[in-house]
A = this chain, B = another copy of it.
Amino acid sequence: MKNFIKHDDWKIIEEGFHPEFNRISESIFSLGNGRKGGRGNFEEQYSGSSLQGNYLAGIYYPDKTRVGWWKNGYPEYFAKILNAANWIGINVNVDGEELDLAKMNIESFTRTVNMKEAVLCREFIASFLNGKKVKVSSKRFLSIVRPEVGAIKYTVEPLNFDGKITFTPYVDFDIKNEDSNYDEKFWIGENIENMGNEGYLTAYTKKTKFLVCSGMKYNVIADDKEHAVHITNESREKYIESSFTVNAKKGHKITLCKYGVNASSMYHAPTRLMSDAKETLNEAFDEGFDVLLNEHRDAWAKKWELSDIKIEGDVAAQQGIRFNIFQLNQTYTGDDERLNVGPKGFTGEKYGGTTYWDTEAYCLPFFLSTTPQKVSRNLLVYRYKHLQKAIENAEKLGFKNGAALYPMVTINGEECHNEWEITFEEIHRNGAIANAIRNYINYTGDKDYLAPYGFEVLLAISRFWAQRVNWSGQKQKYVMLGVTGPNEYENNVNNNWHTNNMAVWTLKYTLEAIDFVKKEHPEIYAEACLKTGFNEVEETARWREIIEKMYFPYDEERDIYLQQDGFMDKDLEPAETIEPDERPISHNWSWDRILRSPYIKQADVLQSLFWFADDYEKTDIERHFDFYEPLTVHESSLSPCVHSILAASIGRPEKAYEMYLRTARLDLDDYNSDTADGLHITSMGGTWMSFVMGLGGMRVRNGKIFFNPILPDGWKGYTFRINFRNCNFKVDVRQSEIFITNLSEQQTEICVFDKDEVIKEHSTVTIKL
């Protein structure tokens, strides 16, 4: 755990330069606007440890798989979001010395993100070995309004000398992914135009043939006036630069305003790409830095209006929750259903930047509650568009008749992951994708999504379950052999309760969906049946049989569902008995030892109890929580949130708060020593859930929203915002009252602490505690 980020309500602040933490800071200070993003790298050269990273949404490369021992069925490649052009670069040379913080004496240094405005600032005073001292400040943002544009204001001031300063803004496309499996470069340069203060280059990706144009344009300001400079342009393969030298005077600032554009064939016809990019960039340039920044601020203000959470009395917690919300909003804006939320967003390369079940299980609730409905709908449509690929994935594993297995990891619908115990066996993900449909409809009321999108996805998943089970002659039940549950510290187990439960639930829900679509949209239903070759009578008969005769591992003595067959054969010592120096066990124990231990990486049985809490008594949940929680080591960033929510729901506020804290500052404090690789973006959705659904006790049942808030000790209060159907609420929790404000134009009914409350438009109800 690190502690170098200064606490503040709205800002993330690194004060004093920490070269040993630079890669961590680069992750933490990442910027993104849903279409592109990049790490908090320096503009000027830096020869210390750094991962220079700039990423464009949807632009990936199928990197040839690296594997020790090939298993039949493995995918040939692992899709990676590509590290793309470095457009921020500005080399600065002062009287022949290169500006490089790794080689200078640093007097002061601050790196700050103002989350309210989504602007990254840096300011430092440093001197060269020859004693010349400069003050540098930079301000950078990626416009949330013009998603292809970014802008930088970069100022150098000589503090104790007059001299020549050469600025070399550049765009470098000769970029490699640090995690390239075979050390290969994936970009091939195409065209270059580089003249005066404006330059562009295009490059395309090997195999996938995405074409990208990155460009820059700049002007120079000295003493608050546009300053004419003599420019030299140079270009080489995949690289353009432009240089000018200024006679700088002590105490006088030279400011370079660099505007960047990154446009891709995702959004432009390849033949028009460079001209479109030029047009976009010139429009931005003509507006100027301040206009761009103002519109950007305004747009962010609207995002915060819908999603902010305010905590009073705990700055660290305040900063933590805002950081999570900020990053989620930087990563996904929901205007393109081809995009999704990668585990690291635009902040690093680990996990390939692709889509996991994390989106459905951990991020969807945040977007449902804080963004317009189309945003979360697009997350669902993403999977609908991948349905054919999911069917092909299942076919590769021997399934037939339109059964679909959604991939563990993907970017275009094809499976990318190659660990048999995950890729082939962690099939509960299929249930998570079905459950997202239920979750979306339950929240929004948009049941028509079933006709036919939701229905077709559910049908294909149900077909998978129906083929994946087999009849056990001995048990006289259907069983599901050889699976890995959400708890990845068990592999290839039989009858993982959560997976069996998701299977049966999917079958039931698909039957309901059929009833609805058949009745409400008979033509769409008929068409979908034709398209999918659905034999309703035969197939649903088998589903009903499976629903009726599914086997669920269960321990009579304790009256609990068992995580899997044989779980009670383990040595059930609680996790607190593990020696502290052996934690996390994933770093200290061999894999076989982890597997045969009882320790649980993340919620498994409890995942189902969270999702289907309404099907269980509170005492059921308590019993299972008390059995499984002590065995859970929470070694996934996705783990504590579910435990936090369940703990809150069964009246264990301390536990709920403890679990909430584990996620909220995970990256800011580098809790797991892996923030250098990038931020845990999808687990940030879990943080939000554990706040709003855990502490806030928010639930939606039958079209009504419920709140059951608790206030952690030491907090004065907190406020969160919720977008629900046509209403927007502000929930303000204090020590002795709760205020719920209806910010919309219509009266609505909510339920607080199991009591219905009617709230008129633009008014507040107060619940005394």
Interface residues of A (CB under 8 A from B): 65-69, 71-73, 396-398, 418-421, 424-425, 470-475, 479, 481-482, 491-494, 565-566, 568-572, 586-596
Given A68-B419, A397-B590, A492:B595 Cβ within 8 A: yes
Q: Which residues of B contact A565 (CB under 8 A)?
A: 565-566
CB-CB nearest in chain B for A181 = B68
Q: Which residues of B contact A397 (CB under 8 A)?
A: 590, 592-593
A482 to B565, CA, bound (A): 13
A400 nearest CB across to chain B (Å): 12
A482 nearest CB across to chain B (Å): 4
Q: Which residues of B contact A66 (CB under 8 A)?
A: 66-68
A571 to B468, CA, bound (A): 12
A588 to B571, CA, bound (A): 38
A218 nearest CB across to chain B (Å): 43
Main secondary structure on A side of the interface with B: loop
Given A65-B68, A72-B589, A591-B73, A473:B596 Cβ within 8 A: no
In contact, B474 and A591 (Cβ under 8 angstroms): no
Besides A397-B593, A492-B492, 7 other CB < 8 A contacts? A69-B419, A73-B590, A420-B592, A470-B570, A470-B571, A492-B595, A565-B566
In contact, B424 and A569 (Cβ under 8 angstroms): no
A662 nearest CB across to chain B (Å): 22
In contact, A566 and B491 (Cβ under 8 angstroms): no
In contact, B568 and A398 (Cβ under 8 angstroms): no
Selected from B398, B492, B589, the residue in CB contact (under 8 A) with A593 is: B398
In contact, A491 and B494 (Cβ under 8 angstroms): no
Q: Which residues of B contact A472 (CB under 8 A)?
A: 568-570
| 22 A-B contacts (beta carbon < 8 Å) | A66-B66, A67-B68, A68-B68, A68-B418, A69-B418, A71-B591, A72-B590, A73-B591, A396-B590, A398-B590, A398-B593, A420-B591, A421-B492, A424-B590, A425-B592, A470-B596, A472-B568, A473-B568, A474-B569, A481-B569, A482-B596, A491-B492
A470 to B68, CA, bound (A): 31
A592 to B420, CA, bound (A): 7
CB-CB nearest in chain B for A397 = B590
Selected from B72, B566, B588, the residue in CB contact (under 8 A) with A588 is: B72
A555 nearest CB across to chain B (Å): 8
Given A66-B67, A68-B66, A397-B590, A473:B572 Cβ within 8 A: yes
A482 to B421, CA, bound (A): 13
In contact, A591 and B481 (Cβ under 8 angstroms): no
In contact, A589 and B474 (Cβ under 8 angstroms): no
Given A67-B67, A481-B569, A586:B72 Cβ within 8 A: yes
